[in-house]
Each structure stands twice: as structure tokens, then as C-alpha cells.
Amino acid sequence: ADKISTQTISLLKGERAVVAVTAYDTAMARYADEAGVDLLLVGDSVGTTQLGFDTTVPVTLEMMLHHTAAVARANPGALLVADVPFAVAHDEFTKLLDACRRLMQEAGAEAVKIEGGALIAPKIERLVQAGIPVLGHIGLLPQNFHQLGGYRKFGRSDAEKSVLVDDALALEKAGCFAVICEMIDGTVAGTIAGELKIPLIGIGSGPHCDGQILVCNDLLGMTAGYVPSFVRQYAQLGEEARKAFANYAEDVRNRKFPS
Ligand code: KIV
Ligand code: NA
């Protein structure tokens, strides 16, 4: 398959749905890429899915560099996007620029994702001018967990709806090649998708977006426990792994392996 660029993703708008998924290591990136996904996100969800943290807040730039480099070693045809971790986007611009530079130059990301709307759009515009492609992220911003006091749906009130529309338009104007919307009311997500010229990629935001993204552990059934209700599980790899380990343990104890 051809290498997918940020341009490719932008041009999928109105053509076909964008298929995106998270990946955190070389093996999983290979599986997803071989299946033909368009975009691999090294999400800061690596903190909760792989590293045992309760939220994405403890995830550092060093962790993102480590996991992004692992995914890059899969040499994916899919576009490789790395999350900018907690609070870095709110640091002074030169530090944000340096973090993005490291994700691209040291780790091999081809674009970065930054949480936030109109407030962060001026910095995103400067990054885009500096040659750094940015994927926007509106709605539920998990990095704000300690402010939100939990995860919930966004855009149910008229006030929240108009903030979301303004956020999305500000990100488009700043030069984002696409925008992710997380946990937005489905009707509102459809309205925003209709207003944007760039793809709106949804998660927990209903069927009216220009594409979808899921956390790979959720869709593969490899979670420690809680799975959001909007997720569709396409496999039960956690259960498969448990069974495989149990069979191995039994064979070793009964001296059936090695034979
Ligand atoms: O970190 C992540 O996995 C994400 C997706 C949920 C969009 O930001
Ligand atoms: Na994230």
C-alpha cells in the first residue's frame, strides 16, 4: 500500500471514512498496518493501557518518545501520529516546539496530536508554520481529568455545543489536517463534521463523523477492566492470553512441554 500522509488523510473527507487506531509497540503497529488502517496514533493512553497508570496525566515526553520510536520501527504505511503529553502544549512555545521536534526527529512521528480547541489554536498555528502537522482533539480532554472529576459526554447544552463548533473551526483555521472529537453528542458531531473542510474523526461521538478511532486494547479485548460502552470489541485477546498461559502452565507442571 502507498504511504499515507497528512494530505491523504485531509483529502479523504467526503471520499471515505478515515480508519484510525492507537498502537504502542512495534508488533501491534505491524498488525494494524498490515490490516490497512489509515492512521496509527501513539496515544498517551499508553499510560492507562500499557503502563498501569489510572489516567494519562503521569505520561511524560520520554515515555511518548520511547513508544513512538517502537511504533516507527514497524515502518507503517499508515500515518504515524504521536500525542503531546500532559501540559506540554501549555508550556512556553519554544518548549512545545522542542517536544514536537523530538517526537518527529528522534522518535519518527509524522504528526503530533494536541488536546484543546480555540485556546490552544494560536500555538498550533505557529507549529504548523514551523512544519509540524497537527491533529486537533476536542470534546473530552482526558489530560484535564483532575479538573473534570471524571469522564462524560460533551455538547449536550447549547452553550457547550457552540463552544465545540468554535473550537473545531479555530483548529481548522490554525491548520490542523484533521480533528479528533471525543465523547461528543452524536448530533453535534454531525453538525461539526458538516461545518469542517477537514475530517472529524470520532471516538464515542456517534456515526456522523468522517472517520473513527479506537484504543487498540479496547477493540481487541485486552483491557484490565472497564471498557467504555461505545466500544465494539472485535476480539477477546485478553481471555485468549489467559487461556494460553494456563495451558502452558499445566503442560510444564505435567511435563507435557517440552515433549
Ligand atoms: O490517547 C489516546 O488514545 C487518544 C485517543 C482516545 C483519541 O487520545
Ligand atoms: Na490521548
Could you report the predicted ipTM of this complex, rounded to two decimals? Answer: 0.99
Per-residue model confidence as pLDDT tens for the chain (259 residues): 689 999 999 999 999 999 999 999 999 999 999 999 999 999 999 999 999 999 999 999 999 999 999 999 999 999 999 999 999 999 999 999 999 999 999 999 999 999 999 999 999 999 999 999 999 999 999 999 999 988 899 999 999 999 999 999 999 999 999 999 999 999 999 999 999 999 999 999 999 999 999 999 999 999 987 889 999 999 999 999 999 999 999 999 999 999 9
- Grid cell of 107 as nine digits: 522518535
Is 239 known to be catalytic? no
**Angstrom distance (rounded) from CA 230 to CA 257:** 41
Residue 5 has, within 13 A of its CA and on its CB side, a CA count of: 4
Strands 39-42 and 18-22: parallel
Count CB neighbours of 175 within 10 A: 18
Q: Which residue's CA lies nearest to atom 4 of ligand 1?
A: 43
pLDDT at position 35 is 98
Our answer on whether the CB atom of 83 is closer than 6 Å to any ligand 1 atom is yes
pLDDT at position 225 is 77
Between the CA of 252 and the centroid of ligand 1 the distance, in Å, is 39
For residue 111, give the 3-state DSSP assignment. Answer: strand
Give the pTM. 0.98
The ligand 1 atom nearest the CA atom of 115: 8
The β-bridge partners of 212 are 19, 202
Between the CA of 116 and the centroid of ligand 2 the distance, in Å, is 11
Q: So what CATH class is 6-253?
A: alpha beta
Our answer on whether the CB atom of 43 is closer than 6 Å to any ligand 1 atom is yes
pLDDT at position 150 is 83
pLDDT at position 77 is 98
Q: Would you kindly state where each structural domain of the chain is located, as residue ranges?
A: 6-253
**Angstrom distance (rounded) from CA 146 to CA 55:** 9
194 contacts: CB under 8 Å, gap ≥ 6: none
Our answer on whether the CB atom of 28 is closer than 6 Å to any ligand 1 atom is no
**Angstrom distance (rounded) from CA 38 to CA 20:** 6
